[in-house]
Each structure stands twice: as structure tokens, then as C-alpha cells.
């Protein structure tokens, strides 16, 4: 063959190789564009609804999210507690055995009072007190295996403030408050009434926990205190079965 035919063949080969390289570069660019069109979630979870419809034009400078991913296998529950309750919580923290599960146990309740499935524990308490309500924030981490707890729900929590295996409780109506002193009327062996000063703890339901001032087995006056005087003799009778069982009241 002539030199001209040979040179033309070499040129065609080089041109075909250049076309293949250009096609590969175009393919790599399109693959890169395709990666930019796919958005991977940074965390695993569940999406409630897409916030952008299919076919809408989006860009990196958009402020509206495409979707919101919620991790609800475990949820945080924020509870407001009076700041005065922190002392009891600190005591429980102090008596907690080392090496146990992090955080104090807590129970999240439904509106009907039943507990949600899963275990919860108190992670920390806030460092700021609301000046309007006097409350402080407690954060509870709650296991949510059945995904019954959803973000934004309002629930109730049962937070332990202590454990007293031999606690002494008295009905709330048996306690009288005068000036800076708290008293309970008790009956001696001769059924004479005497006021005694007591130190109260938590209010559980409608009963106070007595920290000091009473002994187990003492008879206390639940009703009719306004008619009593120190040393007055009364005729006690037991409370009805439907009323709280701790205490006696005079006729």
C-alpha cells in the first residue's frame, strides 16, 4: 500500500482511541453527576414523609430539608421536676452501687397510668432552674422497641426519689402546720391527746413519710384535732376500712 493509505489508517486509529477516551470521560462525569443526585442519610432511622416531591428542582443552597430521619428505637424524654426534688435524687445517686447501669431507673406512663414497654434511665439533670415555675429539667433515655413513643408526645414519668423499706406514713389530714412547726396529735396509753413535733419527708399519694418524731405503733388523731387540747381524754375508734389504714381518730 502507499504511504498515504498507511498514514490515513494510523490517523483513523488514533482518532478512534481519542473518541473512546472521550466517551469514558463522559461516562465518568455522568456517573459523578448521578452520585450527586443520590442523597444518603447520615444516620439510620425512619422517615415520616418526604418534604420535597419527585421532580422538584433542589440544590445545595436550599434551606428546606428533603426529609427528616427519626431514630425512635431509643427516645429522650424531658421531664420537669421541682428544684427541691434534686436533693433526694442526689441522695439516690450517691447511694447507687458502683459498676451498675448508668443512670437511675425511670418509668414512662401512658395517659391511663399504665407503663410503656421498655426500660428508661435518668441521664442527667439540668443546671438551670426556671424562674417562673421553679422547675429543673430531667432527661430520661427510654428504650422504645415497639416504637410506641413518638417525637412530640406528652407523657408522664415516674421518677424514683428514694427507697425506704421501713417507712412510717401518716395521712395528710393528720398533720397540722402552725407557724414554723409541724405537729401530729398522738394518744398515750390513757387515751390522752398530746401534740408532738414531726419532721416530714415526701408526700406519697395522700400520706406523708415521717422522718422523725413518731414511733411505729403509736395512735394518731386523724380527725377532730380542732376540738383537742393537750391532755384531753378521747374515745378513739379505728378508721373505716375504706379510709387510709394508718392512724386512729377520736369521736
**What does the DSSP assignment read for 99-155?**
TS-SSEEEEEE-TTSPBPSS-EEEEEEEEEE-TTT-EEEEEEEEE-TT----TT---
Give the pLDDT score at 23. Answer: 96
Residue 97 has pLDDT above 70, yes or no: no
Mean pLDDT value across residues 94-117:
73
Complete DSSP assignment for 191-245: -BEEEEE-EEEEEETTEEEEEES--TT-EEB-S-GGG--TT-B--EEEPPTTS-S
Cα dihedral across residues 18, 19, 25, 28: positive or negative: negative
Q: Name the more confident of 84 and 120.
A: 120
Q: Name the more confident of 163 and 30.
A: 30
Residue 159 has pLDDT above 70, yes or no: yes
- pLDDT single digits (tens) 224-246: 888 888 888 888 887 775 444 44
Name which of 140, 150, 121, 125 is nearest 48 in CA terms: 150
Residue entry with cell 502507499: 2
CATH node for 71-158: 2.40.30.170
Cβ proximity of 40 and 100 under 8 Å: no
For the chain, domain boundaries: 3-69, 71-158, 169-250
Residue 14 pLDDT class (50, 70, 90 cuts): very high
In this structure, what DSSP letter does residue 162 have?
A: -
φ/ψ region of 107 (left if φ > 0, alpha if ψ in -120 to 50, else beta) reads beta
Percent of the chain with pLDDT over 70: 89
- pLDDT single digits (tens) 193-209: 898 999 888 787 788 88
CATH node for 169-250: 2.40.420.20
Residue entry with cell 374515745: 235
Amino acid at each position: 500500500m502507499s504511504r498515504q493509505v498507511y498514514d490515513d489508517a494510523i490517523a483513523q486509529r488514533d482518532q478512534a482511541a481519542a473518541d473512546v477516551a472521550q466517551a469514558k470521560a463522559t461516562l465518568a462525569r455522568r456517573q459523578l453527576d448521578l452520585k450527586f443526585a443520590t442523597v444518603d442519610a447520615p444516620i439510620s432511622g425512619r422517615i415520616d414523609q418526604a418534604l420535597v416531591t419527585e421532580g422538584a428542582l433542589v440544590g445545595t443552597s436550599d434551606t428546606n430539608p428533603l426529609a427528616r430521619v427519626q431514630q425512635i428505637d431509643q427516645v429522650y424524654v424531658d421531664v420537669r421536676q421541682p428544684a427541691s426534688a434534686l436533693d433526694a435524687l442526689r441522695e439516690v445517686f450517691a447511694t447507687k452501687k458502683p459498676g451498675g447501669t448508668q443512670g437511675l431507673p425511670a418509668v414512662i406512663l401512658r395517659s391511663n397510668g399504665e407503663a410503656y414497654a421498655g426500660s428508661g434511665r435518668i441521664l442527667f439533670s439540668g443546671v438551670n432552674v426556671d424562674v417562673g415555675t421553679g422547675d429543673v429539667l430531667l432527661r430520661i433515655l427510654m428504650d422504645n422497641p415497639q416504637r410506641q413513643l413518638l417525637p412530640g408526645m406528652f407523657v408522664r414519668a415516674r421518677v424514683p426519689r428514694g427507697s425506704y423499706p421501713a417507712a412510717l406514713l401518716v395521712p395528710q389530714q393528720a398533720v397540722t402546720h402552725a407557724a414554723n412547726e409541724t405537729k401530729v396529735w398522738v394518744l398515750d396509753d390513757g387515751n390522752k391527746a398530746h401534740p408532738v413535733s414531726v419532721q416530714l419527708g415526701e408526700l406519697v399519694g395522700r400520706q406523708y413519710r415521717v422522718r422523725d418524731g413518731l414511733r411505729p405503733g403509736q395512735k394518731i388523731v386523724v380527725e377532730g384535732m380542732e376540738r383537742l387540747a393537750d391532755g384531753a381524754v378521747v374515745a378513739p375508734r379505728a378508721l373505716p376500712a375504706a379510709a387510709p389504714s394508718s392512724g386512729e381518730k377520736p369521736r
